[in-house]
Amino acid sequence: MTEPVAPATTAASPRSTTATAPAPVPRTAAAGLSTGAPDPSQLPVVFEVRDLSVYYGSFRAVRDVDLDVRQHEITAFIGPSGCGKTTMLRCFNRMNDLIPGAHPEGTLNYHGVALYGPKVDPVEVRRRIGMVFQKPNPFPKSIYDNVAYGPRLLGTKKRADVDAVIEESLTKAALWDEVKDRLKESAMGLSGGQQQRLCIARAVATKPEVLLMDEPCSALDPIATARIEDLMQEIKTEFTIVIVTHNMQQAARVSDATAFYSTDVNPESDRRTGVLVEFDRTETIFSNPSDERTENYITGRFG
């Protein structure tokens, strides 16, 4: 399914530049930066994960996760299938609550507050931490109603207010110009790439701080994928993004920090447990990884 050609009026970053830092990034993260690029260690930490394991009942699906997600950065989770990337991602917005028996153990803080604390309302969490899924899942309603869904739940009722949120969200998702004349049409009539951008618009309509993206481009063709990658770079200034991707090159292109997961086979039960192998700045992971397993994965020796 090919994407319609983007009209010249949409702002699309040129594909060739790396849109993250304006200056070349030094090889080691710890070294001081030579230009005015933001020092990552100064960016506030949005999610602080220490020694985290995620269980489904008594089965441990992921273990030993230690990482920081920093504000206004794109953090990528990469690794082969079945190593717990999506499980970990879904902890950040408490979507795992939907699976009976799923629970994390360890430290998972959002701005210093325990995300799984006793008084925390998952509904409130999901307002602030939005999610885009692997296969685009627009509601079988109009484009307008899709984006308006979240704000309406939060109490936005007046027509003018809702209209404003719709336009703002669809613009951020780089979809406004394509659909502004057919907002009342069914969302199911859009192409795959458009549907996914609609889902992004829907997610940002509640003005979240964080956007979680679970392999958002895996069901899309390369052109649609490129548009969404551009989009991520644009909206990074406003949101914090965590993306799970199977596509190493995508992670290298797009992200600032990367976490590499792999699996460990439990010799007794012969079941696989995911484990965080290495977490570092993207440049480091891809050019100078510390762990041999990371090196094997990114050079294609396995995965």
Partner 1 sequence: MALTTIGSSSDTAIQGRVAEALEGDTDVKGRLFEAALIACLLVSLAVLALLVGKVLGDGLPVFADRGADFLDGSLSSQPDRAGISQAIIGSFWIATSVVVIALPLGVGAAIYLEEYAPRNRLTAFIEINTRNLAGVPSIVYGLLGLAIFVEYFDGFSGNQGVNRRTLAAAGLTLAALVLPVIIITTQEAIRAVPQALREGAYGVGATRWEVIRSQVLPYAAPGILTGALLSIARAVGEAAPLIVLGAVTGLLGGGTGLSASSLLDPSSLTERFTALPITVATWAKRPEQEFNVDDAAAAIVAMLVFVLLVNSIAIVLRNRFERKRSA
Partner 2 sequence: MATTLTPFSPSDLTGDPRRQRRERAMGVVFFLAASMSVLVSALILVSLFSNGWDFISQVEWSRVVGVNSWNPRQNTYGITTILAGSLIVTGVAMVVAVPLGLGGAVYLSEYAPPRARSLLKPILEVLAGVPSVVLGFFALQWIAPNIVGTLFGDDKGNSGSMLAAGIGVGILSIPLVASVSEDAMRAVPDALRQASAGMGARKLTTTTRVVLPAAVSGLVAAFILAVSRAIGETMVVFIAAGAVSTATFTTNPLDSGLTMTAAMASLASGTDQVRGASLAFPSLYFVGIALFFFTLVLNIIGNAFVRRVRQAY
Can you list the pairs that 179-188 forms with residues at least 24 positions away whose Cβ atoms lie under 8 Å?
Answer: 179/143, 182/143, 183/142, 183/143, 183/144, 184/142, 184/143, 184/144, 185/142, 185/143, 186/140, 186/141, 186/142, 186/143, 187/138, 187/139, 187/140, 187/141, 187/142, 187/143, 187/146, 188/138, 188/140
| Binding footprint of partner 2, residue count (CB under 8 A) | 22
Closer CB to partner 1, 70 or 126, in the complex: 126
Helix (H) or strand (E) holding 163: helix 159-172
What does the DSSP 8-state code read for residue 160?
A: H
- CA distances (Å), origin 216, targets 93, 109, 220, 236, 267: 16, 25, 8, 16, 34
Least distance from C-beta 254 to partner 2, angstroms?
22
Least distance from C-beta 120 to partner 2, angstroms?
5
Using CB under 8 A as the binding rule, whether residue 118 contacts partner 1 is answered as no
Q: Which of 60, 63, 70, 126 binds partner 1 (CB under 8 A)?
A: 126
Least distance from C-beta 209 to partner 1, angstroms?
13
CB neighbours of 191 closer than 8 A, spacing ≥ 6?
A: 1, 2, 3, 4, 224
Using CB under 8 A as the binding rule, whether residue 188 contacts partner 2 is answered as no
| Binding footprint of partner 1, residue count (CB under 8 A) | 26
Closer CB to partner 2, 119 or 158, in the complex: 119
Instruction: From the list partner 2, partner 1, none, pick the one residue 119 interacts with, judged by a Cβ distance below 5 to 8 Å according to partner type.
Output: partner 2
Q: Which of 104, 138, 193, 208 binds partner 2 (CB under 8 A)?
A: 208
Q: Site residues for partner 1, window 131-150 (CB under 8 A)?
A: 131, 133, 135, 137-140, 149-150
Q: Which of 100, 112, 267, 300 binds partner 2 (CB under 8 A)?
A: 112
Using CB under 8 A as the binding rule, whether residue 207 contacts partner 2 is answered as yes
Site string for partner 2, 42-61 (x = CB under 8 A): --x-x---------------
Least distance from C-beta 188 to partner 2, angstroms?
26
Closer CB to partner 2, 46 or 232, in the complex: 46
Using CB under 8 A as the binding rule, whether residue 123 contacts partner 1 is answered as yes
Closer CB to partner 2, 221 or 238, in the complex: 238
Q: Which of 6, 38, 109, 127 binds partner 1 (CB under 8 A)?
A: 127
Q: Which of these segments, 24-32, 105-113, 194-202, 256-264, binds partner 2 (CB under 8 A)?
A: 105-113
| Burial letters 176-186, b for 16+ CB under 10 A, else e | bebbeeebeee
CB neighbours of 210 closer than 8 A, spacing ≥ 6?
A: 46, 47, 69, 92, 93, 128, 129, 130, 239, 240, 241, 242
Q: Which of these segments, 85-93, 120-128, 177-185, 280-288, binds partner 2 (CB under 8 A)?
A: 120-128
Instruction: Tell which residue, 216, 181, 210, has the closest CA to residue 195.
Output: 216
Per the CB < 8 A criterion, the answer to whether 230 and 15 are in contact is yes
Least distance from C-beta 119 to partner 1, angstroms?
16
Per the CB < 8 A criterion, the answer to whether 129 and 92 are in contact is yes
Residues found near partner 1 in the complex (CB under 8 A): 93, 95, 98, 100, 123-127, 130-131, 133, 135, 137-140, 149-150, 153-154, 199, 202-203, 205-206
